[in-house]
């Protein structure tokens, strides 16, 4: 569990410098009243006061230098911690696989990684600044006690009142900071959802309703903002009332002691300055607000960092052609049984079609075969090795997946096909085999065409998705990955798949009888259960099987 302390400590390279500068600032603040008090006494006594003025000027200069260094160190510390936290968050999300991020909405996740990570990174500097801010009043108390113990008592009473105001502020502001960040995340989620379905929204003519839906949370955000300012204003006002009380109490006691001849005029001046330091504690509301935002940011980051990374084994795969075994595989999600005790033994090198009515569990079976999700019970093996025991590298080299709506990643079309260091020859071979090369070569910049600018049809995107999965040498999992292709291209790719000279297994989720007919075997699923495993021709006699294809 990631904590405030852990994030705060991350900036430890900078925190000593920030702390040192804050202490120098405090020391300067504490020393100045004494020095100025001595100047006053020297002026009153008619003696030489220039020495004290030089010391005062030096202290002021030191204070300025310290605050410049403090500002720089604070910014550097926050930048470094933000980068570290974002790196961890992104890593956790990516390593959690498709199931890991399911509990989060896209926009909310982006807000956590971007804005909230930056809020959280304030933890270290804000905590050090708050701690350092305690030094002046504590020092004031000690120095006042050295002047006169009654001055210290009056000061202490007032400071306790200021502290009570600050504690109440810290408590109230923590909850509201979290609520504010959560609402921000919800707005971002709604925007992300709308962007995903922007075509549907435009086609349905519901743009105005969508705008209202996204911005419908603004009043809530506004309410949290108003509450934040109200808490700040109330605490500020309370501090403004309580603060001067410290000064009045110290001055009243100081006046009595001066008249009684127990302190000098200079000491009364110094005491009044120390009292101002105690009263000024009320201005700490700013840094306490920062701590509250940092705490909320850390809490939201911790929820993401709690995503379990998909564990991988360290085994390589033995020689084989992709024999795929399901051993009593059951998948349960949200209390629903998606795959129910599925046992299959599919010999390597075959084309296996997975068919069944909508919602039968075909995609779930494909995802489990490619280890995009793990079974709740049972296991899946490839060439005799349980998928969970195979190393990540070996698994991704061996198994390729293509989907109905592929999300293409990379700057260029070439990168979308081969995101990692794959030789151009293999990229070209994959593009040719999947008929992606035909349209890519017609683009002005070919494989170097920017992915964002390349206009692509659903079928063209599917061809790139197929090309990307193509180099897998042991198992190719195609989940409705050719559904948008025209019949002729689909048939050509189907033939290439069937004649695939790599002798790997091809698991093809399909709704087309022609694809099932070309396959060596068909796995017929219904409501998460295997109905039969046999060639299409053998199953075709069964009326229920024929109904699967409508």
Ligand X SMILES: Nc1ncnc2c1ncn2[C@@H]1O[C@H](COP(=O)(O)OP(=O)(O)OP(=O)(O)O)[C@@H](O)[C@H]1O
> Burial, 212: exposed, middle or buried (Cβ in 10 Å; 0-12, 13-18, 19+)?
exposed
State which of residues 47, 50, 336, 543 lies at the interface with ligand X (CB under 6 A): 336
The span of 71-79, 139-147, 177-185, 333-341 binding ligand X (CB under 6 A) equals: 333-341
Render 205-234 in DSSP notation, one character per residue. Answer: T-HHHHHHHHHTTHHHHHHHHHHHHHHHHH
CB of 527 to ligand X, least distance (A): 9
- Is residue 330 part of the contact set for ligand X (CB under 6 A)? no
Of residues 73 and 338, the one with the C-beta less far from ligand X: 338
Nearer to ligand X among residue 47 and residue 336 (C-beta) = 336
> CA-to-CA distance for 439 and 484, rounded, in angstroms?
15
349-368 residues in contact with ligand X (CB under 6 A) are 356, 358-364
Shortest spacing between CB 231 and ligand X, in angstroms = 41
Provide the minimum distance between the beta carbon of 511 and ligand X in the complex, in angstroms, as a whole number: 7
Binding mask 80-99 for ligand X (x = CB under 6 A): --------------------
What residues between 21 and 40 interact with ligand X by CB under 6 A? none
CB of 139 to ligand X, least distance (A): 59
**Residue in 205, 261, 318, 334 binding ligand X, rule: CB under 6 A:** 334
Given a contact cutoff of 8 angstroms between Cβ atoms, the answer to whether 287 and 126 are in contact is yes
CB of 206 to ligand X, least distance (A): 25
Cβ nearer to ligand X, comparing 358 with 543: 358
Instruction: Work out how close the CB of 399 gets to ligand X at its nearest, in angstroms, rounded to a whole number.
Output: 18
β-bridge mates for residue 353, sequence order: 508, 522
Looking at the DSSP assignment, which residues form a beta bridge with residue 523?
A: 354, 533
DSSP state of 113: I
Helices (H), 260-307: 265-279, 285-305
CB atoms within 10 A of CB 410: 15
Using the rule CB under 6 A, which residue among 18, 268, 338, 399 binds ligand X? 338
Site mask for ligand X (CB under 6 A), range 201-220, x = bound: --------------------
Interface with ligand X by CB under 6 A: which range of 47-55, 231-239, 330-338, 456-464? Answer: 330-338
Distances (CA, A) of 63 to 24, 25, 67, 167, 513: 7, 5, 6, 28, 81
Question: Please, which residues bridge with residue 253 across strands?
Answer: none
Dist. CA 362–CA 349, nearest whole Å: 20
Q: How far is the CB of 490 from ligand X (least distance, A)?
A: 17
Indicate the length of the chain as a whole number.
550
Closest CA to 504 of 470, 467, 545, 549: 470
Q: Which residues bind ligand X (CB under 6 A)?
A: 333-334, 336, 338, 356, 358-364
């Amino acid at each position: 569990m990631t904590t405030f302390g852990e994030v705060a400590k991350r900036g430890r390279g900078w925190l000593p410098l920030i702390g040192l500068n804050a202490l120098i600032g405090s020391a300067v603040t504490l020393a100045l009243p004494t020095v100025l008090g001595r100047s006053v006494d020297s002026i009153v006594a008619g003696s030489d006061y220039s020495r004290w003025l030089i010391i005062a000027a030096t202290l002021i200069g030191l204070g300025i230098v310290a605050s410049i260094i403090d500002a720089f160190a604070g910014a550097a510390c926050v930048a470094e911690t933000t980068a570290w936290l974002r790196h961890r968050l992104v890593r956790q999300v990516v390593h959690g696989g498709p199931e890991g991020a399911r509990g989060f909405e896209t926009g909310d996740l982006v807000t956590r990684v971007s804005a909230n990570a930056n809020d959280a990174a304030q933890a270290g500097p804000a905590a050090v600044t708050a701690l350092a801010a305690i030094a002046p009043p504590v020092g004031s108390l000690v120095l006042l006690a050295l002047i006169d113990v009654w001055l210290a008592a009056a000061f202490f009473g007032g400071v306790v009142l200021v502290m009570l105001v600050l504690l109440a502020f810290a408590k109230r502001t923590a909850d509201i900071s979290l609520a504010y960040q959560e609402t921000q995340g919800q707005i971002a989620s709604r925007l992300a959802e709308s962007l995903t379905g922007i075509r549907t929204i435009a086609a349905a003519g519901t743009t105005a309703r969508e705008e209202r839906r996204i911005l419908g949370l603004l009043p809530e955000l506004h309410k949290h903002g108003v509450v934040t300012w109200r808490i700040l204003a109330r605490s500020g006002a309370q501090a403004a009332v309580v603060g001067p009380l410290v000064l009045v109490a110290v001055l009243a006691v100081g006046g009595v002691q001066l008249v009684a001849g127990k302190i000098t005029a200079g000491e009364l001046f110094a005491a009044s300055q120390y009292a101002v330091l105690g009263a000024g504690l009320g201005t700490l509301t700013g840094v306490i607000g920062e701590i509250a935002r940092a705490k909320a940011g850390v809490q939201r980051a911790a929820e993401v960092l709690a995503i379990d990374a998909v564990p991988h084994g360290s085994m390589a795969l033995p020689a084989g052609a992709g024999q795929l075994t399901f051993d009593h595989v059951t998948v349960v999600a949200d209390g629903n049984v998606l795959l129910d005790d599925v046992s299959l033994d599919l010999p390597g090198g075959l084309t296996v079609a997975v068919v069944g009515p909508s919602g039968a569990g075909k995609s779930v079976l494909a995802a489990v075969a490619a280890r995009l999700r793990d079974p709740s019970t049972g296991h899946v093996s490839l060439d005799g090795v349980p998928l969970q025991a195979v190393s990540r590298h070996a698994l991704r080299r061996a198994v390729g997946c293509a989907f109905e709506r592929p999300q293409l990643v990379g700057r260029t079309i070439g990168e979308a096909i081969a995101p990692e260091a794959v030789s151009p020859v293999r990229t070209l071979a994959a593009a040719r085999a999947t008929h992606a090369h035909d349209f890519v070569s017609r683009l002005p910049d070919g494989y170097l065409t920017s992915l964002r600018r390349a206009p692509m049809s659903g079928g063209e995107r599917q061809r790139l998705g197929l090309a990307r999965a193509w180099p897998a040498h042991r198992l190719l999992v195609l989940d409705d990955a050719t559904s948008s292709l025209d019949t002729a291209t689909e048939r050509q790719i189907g033939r290439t798949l069937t004649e695939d000279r790599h002798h790997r297994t091809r698991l093809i989720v399909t709704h087309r009888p022609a694809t099932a007919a070309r396959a060596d075997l068909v796995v017929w699923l219904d409501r998460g259960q295997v109905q039969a495993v046999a060639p299409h021709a053998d199953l075709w006699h069964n009326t229920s099987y024929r109904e699967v294809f409508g």
